[in-house]
A and B are shown apart, each in its own frame.
Chain A
Amino acid sequence: MDKEVSRRGFLERAAVATGLIAVVSTRGPAAPSRAAQGSWARESSALLTLAAMAAQIVPTTETPGAKDARVIDYIRDHIEGSAKMQERCEAGVKEVDAVSQEKYDTPFATLDTEKQQQILKAMEHSDFFRMVRELTVRGFYSSPVGQRTIAFPGHGQPHGYPEFHEPPKREGPPTPPRSREPAGRARLVVVRSELPMEDW
């Protein structure tokens, strides 16, 4: 396992990387005093929207998803650590709910799956969505529930893997990927991203 993309302060870097700037909400004044008080535990409506987004980003399929892993707790912990992040999330959530309100006259969290996915698809290139996606993916795949869906045991001590030179013996999910094309050439996916993987 290589060094991870993130280091401490990855949120700030992710925000910078996606060019996220503070979006000033048109729906009401910024609330720095609330943010400073760490109100996220009490700001239930924003959390509901974020949880709904997370549940679409890593959905429950044949295997558990972000909802089952309670990734919203991870997201909230991360946001609570930074007043700047709180402001950005509040502003972003307000935008998402505003779109939902305009289209369907109801908050985002109450929409059915199809409508939620539609709204998110339309905003999937936005800085806010990318930030929430990053948090959700990180929160899910660092959780025991999430790691089980990819058959990753998580920590390796104290037993380690003394049998690392042998083929894996464990059975179970997930299902194997499709075999290669008949022509025998591998498919090269060049991952396009405006930023490289740092310290790759």
Chain B
Amino acid sequence: MAQPMVDVCIVGCGAGGSTMAMRLAEAGLSVVVLEAGPRLDPYRDFSNDRELMDRKLTWDMPVTFDADPAAAVMSSKGHTAWGVGGGTQHWSCAVGRFHPTDFKTRSTDGVGEDWPISYEDLAPYYLMAERQLGVSTPYPDVRFPQIPRAVNPAHKLSYGSQIIKRACDKLGMVSFPGPTAINSRPYDGRPACNYCGFCTSGCMIGALGNTALTHVPRAEAAGAEIRPHCYAREITVDAFGRAKSVIYYDRQGREREQAASHIVVSCFAVETPRLLLNSRSSLFPDGLANSSGRVGKNLMTHLTTKIVGVFDEPIDAFRGFPEQNLLSVHFYDTDSRRGFARGYKMTTHGVAPMDFAALAPTLWGSALKHHMEMYRYHFGVGALGESLPNDANTVTIDPVVRDKYGVPVARMTHRPTERDAQVRAHEIETLTMILEAAGASTLFYRRGTSGHKMGTCRMGKDPRTSVVDSYGRCHDVKNLWIADSSIFVTGSGFNPTLTIVALANWVAEHLIEAVRRM
């Protein structure tokens, strides 16, 4: 059943899709957004109940994982919830502009690849993203002293973060309040954070950068139509190889078709290549926009380590937002003495009771209770490290498994490298040193994985080695654009969302220009 044609059809209403919808609609284009998940209203539907929110959010991303679980550094499941807002419904809100060298790892350190754009290209878009999400940063920002102002002032340091800061000072590691997409004061019609600590199960007071609240209302006010429960199956092309329409299943499971002059794919670094690879035609036998063969290649994640320390005094770490209240980039840029290129950020963390229980996964009886009774006394530090591009890590189409509609699912293949192991070992050493200096008596380390996924439809100038150009436009299909973390060339050591929103603003402006020139 065909829907009336629109200027732009966007697939996926997460960080990237919401931003595209807002910018394009505000530029006067007619926009439809197809979102596979539901539309939840944080003010009405969210609550400070992890069990309940775990059931309420939609984790239906179908995916298989080809990896050795004993060695995996990447999480085996779709990490972001479906729904309007996508992963921003439940993210920790840790943000950070990539460093200038993050865009030039090859020219700077001889590893990875250079992006076709620079930090200077993206700097104005980072500021846009920070304004749109309400990011609070220290001012001046030691990493970017040239930034003329902070959008919102930095938060105070929690009691636990202060303890860690003193340890970092003792060790000669510069640390400072971490940038975060959490309101440090009332902003944009939404309240200031009151430090309940439930960000990652969904903020029920609207105090953080959930794009369902920061971008989508503006998109709708400008005329965009958001369609939840609409699951895209494939993108069709016309006889000239231009993208024509999105075939999708609506809430009742009926097949529908949405035609558009331009199509934007922003449904996550796993589902985006999946959609393209499943969109075969005689003009694109290897998948849509895949003449380079690079759709699905270069699947990247982050190297995450967390260590939880137990102190001699109560800290009540559940107070305050759980991640990056304090940040250090002391180990971020390359130091060849470490034996590997690039590095990692260090941040503070508080954990929820069940995560503290998971640090003693085999205990039971009174031993378990004694372990849990240390909960008040815990505080944690973590590292997020860069993992370099690797063609062996891919998203492909699973040869066997299909979803409930009969559509083949994505299959992730990911193998950590020796460098990954070196980075993680260094992270453990650093975090141990910090917690000891802070006075922790017992440290718990359990190997973890990261849910961040990036790089599977990367940007580049050369159509033979990249999927999209410097503006997120597919080399092969001039009216097809990608605006999520799939287009990242390298992963940096920072959380992806701020850069996704910055890039989506950048891509949107170029799409608008392309439409106006037509």
Chain A residues with CB under 8 Å of chain B are 1-10, 13, 56-59, 61, 63, 65, 117, 120, 124, 133, 137-138, 141-142, 147, 149-168, 170, 173-181, 185-191, 193-200
| Chain A contact residues, majority secondary structure | loop
Distance between Cα atoms of A48 and B3 in the complex (Å): 57
Chain B residues within an 8 Å CB radius of A191:
359-361, 444-446
Known: A1-B350, A198-B449. 6 other contacts (CB 8 A): A1-B200, A120-B364, A151-B375, A175-B373, A186-B435, A200-B449
Binary interface profile of B, 429-463, with partner A (CB < 8 Å = 1, else 0)? 00010011001111111111111000000000000
Ranked nearest first, the 7 interchain pairs of A and B with the lowest CB-CB distance are: A200-B448, A160-B194, A156-B196, A1-B352, A155-B48, A174-B373, A180-B441
State whether B436 touches A185 (Cβ < 8 A): yes
Chain B residues within an 8 Å CB radius of A5:
354-355, 358
Closest chain A CB from B67 CB (angstroms): 11
Chain A residues within an 8 Å CB radius of B156:
164-165
Distance between Cα atoms of A187 and B304 in the complex (Å): 21
Chain A residues within an 8 Å CB radius of B75:
198-199
Closest chain B CB from A146 CB (angstroms): 8
Q: Kindly state whether residue B476 has any CB partner on chain A within 8 Å.
A: no
Chain B residues with CB under 8 Å of chain A are 47-51, 54-55, 57-59, 69-70, 72, 75-77, 79, 90, 92, 156-159, 162, 193-198, 200-201, 204-205, 304, 306, 309-310, 312-320, 322-323, 349-355, 357-362, 364-366, 368-369, 372-377, 432, 435-436, 439-451
The residue in A120, A154, A168, A194 that gathers the most chain B C-beta atoms within 10 A of its C-beta is A168
Picked from A117, A157, A164, A199, the residue with its CB within 8 Å of the CB of B319 is A164
A-B contacts counted at CB < 8 A amount to 254
Chain A residues within an 8 Å CB radius of B350:
1-2
Closest chain A CB from B37 CB (angstroms): 12
Picked from B77, B364, B443, B449, the residue with its CB within 8 Å of the CB of A189 is B443
State whether A58 touches B48 (Cβ < 8 A): no
State whether B353 touches A152 (Cβ < 8 A): yes
Closest chain A CB from B321 CB (angstroms): 9
Question: Given A151-B376, A161-B197, A177-B374, A4 and B312 touching (CB < 8 A)?
Answer: no
Distance between Cα atoms of A153 and B195 in the complex (Å): 13
State whether A150 touches B364 (Cβ < 8 A): no
State whether A176 touches B77 (Cβ < 8 A): no
Chain B residues within an 8 Å CB radius of A4:
50, 54, 200-201, 352, 354-355
State whether A2 touches B443 (Cβ < 8 A): no
Minimal Cβ-Cβ distance residue in A for B320 = A164
The residue in A154, A156, A179 that gathers the most chain B C-beta atoms within 10 A of its C-beta is A156
